[in-house]
Structure 1
Amino acid sequence: MTNDMQSGRKHGLIVSLKVVCLVSLMIFGCSPGPVLSTEAPENIALNPANNAVYAKSTLGLYDISSFDVYVDQEIIHLIASGKRAAHNKHGSIRYTRSEDGGHQWKSPVTVNESLPAALASRGNDVQLAADGSHLVSLWQTEGEFPTMGPMVSAYSPDAGQTWKRGANPAIDNDGSQAHIDVVADWKGNFHAVWLADPNENGYQGLHYARSIDQGKQWGQPVTLDDSTCSCCWNTVAVSPDNKLAVLYRNTAPRDMSLAQSLDAGLTWRHPSTVGDFQWKFEGCPHVGGALKYVGTGNIAQLHSVVWTGIEDKSGLYHLSSNDNGQTWSIPRKLGSMAMHGDIAARNRNAVAAIWNEMEPDGASIFYTKSEDGGTTWSVPKRLTEARNSATQPKLVATKHGFLALWTEKNNQHSSELAWYVFE
């Protein structure tokens, strides 16, 4: 406990021994079992403004440059990349999992010990999907030029204990293949999307491929849109009845578009724009969106959060669809200066949204909850202080509650992974 107190002082947290004990119980619980690796000190942070307590770690790395989180069968799978030491140039990738909603974690496993390093950053994060004991991870690695390169595919047949290299979903290793996302459907197939310009026509396009053998090989890639925003992350979601939906940022206007497949990726359609703001912008905002299916069978509801920079309406908005993305609710603004956001749901009624809010001293994490399927929302709650420069949170839901994760800077100015569990 003395080490925890020293770590707390190091982060400007002067708390009593009694408080540290209580905090430890709140974060990690009392039950036995493996917890997060102690290769690097585990830290506990307290926001004095509202007494929000959350945990932080680097998973044994020097810092965390990117991460992804995925829930399958109530197990939370977490993957993160970062440098092993300050002088390292390339990113190492670590995997861990939690079976109790994010309170306790297994000791991290290195994914790319013998695989290419990750060229990843927030917004171009290493990606992960799971189907039972089968896991697939995708990330960008360095190619001919220092800041761009092809995708790397890795798969694990044993719940993340060992990893092997799979084929590149893009087939070739030419150019830049970035802003990747991957998901597993209910039949055990994996679906990947990414941005690339394989024909070198000067425009990044949205591409898709499917694996039917747990990530070892991938089918012929198809182009979903040959001209998209070139640096915004993409999100793919699968419905309870195995429909696929991809949320991405278009070019003209720079609003978020929906691509959809009703036959597990064989054919695609473009049913709607998610937030028809008609934002005309020639640059790249570096902001994607979030998309989640909620419900059962063919009556599932779609929830999304999208950001727009249009004048006088700039901000993060929530929308929902009751007809599989054909039409959307009136956009409802979240927060004040909200930007990077995510959304999750425990059921059709219990929905939560999270984002980082831009403030004079930096960026802070806020979240809000809805108990009526997104019709009304609670007053946003602050999780972090602006001076921590917390950014780009992710949100997942299990039977244990909601788990929020994000990255923030510590006093040494390296990034740590932070997480918080709430109901």
Structure 2
Amino acid sequence: MAKLVDIQGYCDPRFSAVKEMFTENFESGSEVGASFAVTLGGEYVVDIWGGYSDKAETIPWERDTITNVYSTVKVMTALCALLLIDKGQLNIDSPVADYWPEFAQAGKDKIIVRWLLNHSAGLPGFDEHPTLEDMYDWERITHLLERQKPWWEPGTQSGYHMVTFGYLVGELIRRISGKSIGTFFRDEIATPLGADFHIGLAEKHDARVAELIPPPPMESPPVEPDSIIGRTLFNSPIIPAFSDRAWRAAEIPSSNGHGNARSLAKVGSLLACQGELKGMRLLSRATIDQAITEQFNGIDLVLGAPVRWGLGFGLANENLTYLNPHAFYWGGFGGSWLEVDPDAGMCFSYVMNKLEVEPGGDKRMLALRSALLSAMQQKK
């Protein structure tokens, strides 16, 4: 029997197939609560949500419901760095130690900023084993990274800096701006754009945070604990207690941003519109073009899959079909996703609370994406 669901929000009739697929995901039992948004030219053409914000399905997912999007927050972190690059305060080919002198320890004096942003610095994990509480302590983690030796020759290969990316880039931002990355993002991006997205969530927002529902256990392929993949996965706590207040409050800009599809699309639309939104320019087109220029193309040492890296973003590749070759994206554990196509002036995002981990990508997101791209092709 189909699961009845009331889908709320706005959907331009041109994208009715997207709303139908969103509904179908609920009716099939694949969703508990979710939101999906699309912008064209900075305007919402789809902004829909539905379902429940709790596992027991007693609390409706509302317009302002937010939840943790895991690694999709890396787009926001990269964007903060791009703002400093655009202002001439951060040079991607300068040594990191020029801005963060203590970083030069353990043979890292020649590592340049570019290699942090394109995941080639050789620092995807820790030789030590930080606890979850350590991850809440910014200075503790940045001191660990100062002492950490690279796991390969920096700049020669990419290896997804799953947890460390946010601390590495975030510390650069703190050293230059004098602000934590959560504060910098709020002041420089979220507030000007009116985006309800948070890196470090204030307690006053807890009542509208959707409960995350863990994915079912699945058999993972065997990984050698001493391999680069093994050390990245096992030497740092990736997935915390899902309702922990300390986790929400911490600024972990690789893993714990909170928002919904609307707020992700709001930020993404800045990139889709070449750095200018509603008459307000925050980024130059030249900086965006630099960010989506290919840095690496090949098998990532941590992901074990082919990735084309830009500066903080995954670039269009053969794994998926794209409308245009300059599209870029990133997603988070469990299924959240943000994709930008500057040639089409389009951005779309997907956020949900029922986490799924599937080889080849989240089927719910991929179905929505397929319906959207089909509609976009018909629009042409």
Whether these two folds match at TM > 0.5 is no
Per the normalisation by structure 1, the TM-score is 0.31
Q: Which structure carries more helix by proportion?
A: 2
Q: Which has the higher strand share?
A: 1
Q: Select the structure with the greater relative contact order (CA < 8 A; seq sep ≥ 6).
A: 2
Q: Calculate the TM-score normalised by the size of structure 2.
A: 0.34
